[in-house]
Structure 1
Amino acid sequence: LLLGDSTGNFDIIKDLRMPRVFIAILVGANLAVAGVLLQSIIRNPLADPYITGISSGAGLVTVFLMVFMPQLTTLRPILGFIGGVLACIIVYIMSYKNGLSPIRIVLAGAAANALLGGLSSMIAISAGLGAANIQKWLMGSLATVNWSHVYLLVGYTIVGLIAACLLSKVCNVLALGNKNAKSLGFNVQIYMIIVSAVAVFLASISTAIAGMISFVGLVVPHICRLMIGSNHYYLIPCSAILGAILVLFADTMGRIVMSPYEIPVGIVTCIFGAPFFLILLRKSDLK
């Protein structure tokens, strides 16, 4: 390839493989950091963009755009962010009763995922011949990404990850609990809204490009905590790196395990992430 003897292979790598690699890295980093932020403010080990319904909200808006307004490709991340915010608000309202309970967040998120996922499928069916491709995208697929998606996502990702790193000290304080944070002079509600907004932003822009990839934001933060501890100054960049590696690995496995057929990356992360989720569910104090 370097000598130019296989022009066709070089074009495949440049135009098909490389954009996919970059999108996998960006999406993995975004979802993992979003999981870290959500777990810090909710203080819930089960919090993750998919479980809290954020991905489903962003996915619903994106599917609507794909079917009815396909020309608005460049607006997908921003409009997906709006969908993620609305879904997050709905889940928080549904689960709030004298505070946020981990089990209520899980149940409310499951209900939101079912509802929003059903609506997304209904809209996808109306796409006719394109319904199968949209359903595959909803499972979390990088099969159709190209350089335009990379250029679109990289700017948003840089902004979101920088904002997350700047909030590392805030996350450390919020993780101590509301009373301790208030005693240190923190306006807890304002900072929780800011951190939530960054988490929703990172998750939504990724969903708008790659579909709903679950469990990355759940699994990666816990692995990083075992490796380096709970200091968000190190936890956020570590999660970004490991999340990027995980999604890239999952996408590669999805392409080669059943070649020439392809397993969407979201299905691969489900296969690995679901058992981890069940282990956390059994070990967590949900009372």
Structure 2
Amino acid sequence: MSIWQRYCIRSLPARSNRERTAVLALLCAALLAAAALSLRCGSQNIPLWELLSSLRRGDPGDPALRILLHVRIPRTLAGGLAGCALAMAGTLIQAVLNNAMASPNVIGVNAGAGFAALLAVSLAPWAARLIPLASFLGALGAALFIYALAAKAGLSRTTLILAGVAVSSMLTAGSNALTLLYPDMALGAASFMLGGFNGVTLAAVRSAGWYLAAGTALAAMLAADLDVLRLGEESAAGLGLHVGRTRFLAVLAAALLAGAAVSFSGLLGFVGLLVPHMARRLVGGDNRWLLPVSALLGGSFVLLCDVTARLLFAPFELPVGIVMSLLGGPFFLHLLRRKKGRVYD
């Protein structure tokens, strides 16, 4: 039995369905509270009741209504959806690669999506609708490349992470080269590379909506199969599971989710690494519960980080990606220190 399987069986807490349902309900409430905080807070702290009153009056000349409709609602929606998508993508990638340290940003999936999005903007600045598709294709290409490396016999999990870091570095270098070759987009590219929601529009979120919906539906369909896959390839195949197809579809779902999120949020890091670990501590390793819990937890986490980025040095605003890196970097080092070559504690 692998270390991954021992971890899933022994180390994770045993939860009843009633306890897991309670966790889901609490996380739904937490997400709603984070969304309300995101709607209220910013360079102008407008009370929530005043925002709701402005929305009810519907006066187009009301500054509070304009702030709510054109700034706060798009930003809150984008933050919540990006957090949900990246957290689910991280959960899927960790299950497929059988590696607790894998995540969309660590193995280069986010970097692939970012490079493809910048390439699309550079070559076809008139076609904004191409950005989600380009992000998805870039994320899928990077994920499949790393998956191909993982499938090779004798490739250790440590080597896999190092390969992912190398791929991410090359793709980031490609993105930087594009900003030098196309200086007109340099300012927007800098914000994109750091990750954040300043200036995000409902149109950008809407254009990525189909990819988010498809990735979420595919992940939900694969949850039970991923639980079977935790038993090991031979056992899963013996139970009738098509292992190769399941893993490819899981990679496809992760690429859809990560690519769509990157298309409007930029290169947010560490969401797909931190959140699945926290979710496993809450509901265990059953993917039928782990995926929705990760989604809710990820949405709340990103929204709270975004609020922190807005208020930390107000009225100046930090890109939310900086806040996430400050939180995620120490966590990643903590994993490295505790694992000492193992897959899981």
State TM-score, norm by structure 2.
Answer: 0.79
CA distance in 2, matches of 1:21, 1:99: 44
The reply to whether residue 48 of structure 1 matches residue 48 of structure 2 is: no
Question: 2:212 is matched with which residue?
Answer: 157
**Secondary structure at 2:300 match in 1:** helix
The reply to whether residue 226 of structure 1 matches residue 316 of structure 2 is: no
Confirm or deny: 8 A CA contact 2:120 2:130 kept in the other structure. no
Q: CA deviation at 1:13?
A: 1.4
Question: 2:125 is matched with which residue?
Answer: 70
Of 63, 75, 79, the match for 1:8: 63
Identity of aligned residues (%): 32
Of 225, 245, 258, the match for 1:170: 225
Confirm or deny: 8 A CA contact 1:168 1:233 kept in the other structure. yes
CA distance in 2, matches of 1:248, 1:82: 27
CA distance in 1, matches of 2:117, 2:297: 27
Of 155, 178, 189, the match for 1:134: 189
CA distance in 1, matches of 2:96, 2:308: 33
CA distance in 2, matches of 1:178, 1:129: 50
Of 135, 138, 151, the match for 1:80: 135
CA distance in 1, matches of 2:71, 2:170: 34
Of 79, 83, 88, the match for 1:24: 79
Q: How many residues align?
A: 287
The reply to whether residue 213 of structure 1 matches residue 268 of structure 2 is: yes
Q: CA deviation at 1:286?
A: 2.6
The reply to whether residue 37 of structure 1 matches residue 92 of structure 2 is: yes
State TM-score, norm by structure 1.
Answer: 0.94
Q: CA deviation at 1:96?
A: 5.0
The reply to whether residue 286 of structure 1 matches residue 341 of structure 2 is: yes
CA distance in 2, matches of 1:182, 1:129: 52
Of 34, 54, 58, the match for 2:113: 58
* Structure 2 counterparts to residues 173-192 of structure 1, below 5 A: 173-192=228-247
The reply to whether residue 268 of structure 1 matches residue 300 of structure 2 is: no
CA distance in 2, matches of 1:174, 1:15: 44
**Secondary structure at 1:212 match in 2:** coil
**Secondary structure at 1:167 match in 2:** helix
> Larger Rg: 1 or 2?
2
Q: CA deviation at 1:99?
A: 4.8
Question: 2:161 is matched with which residue?
Answer: 106
Confirm or deny: 8 A CA contact 2:84 2:298 kept in the other structure. yes
Of 197, 204, 226, the match for 2:259: 204
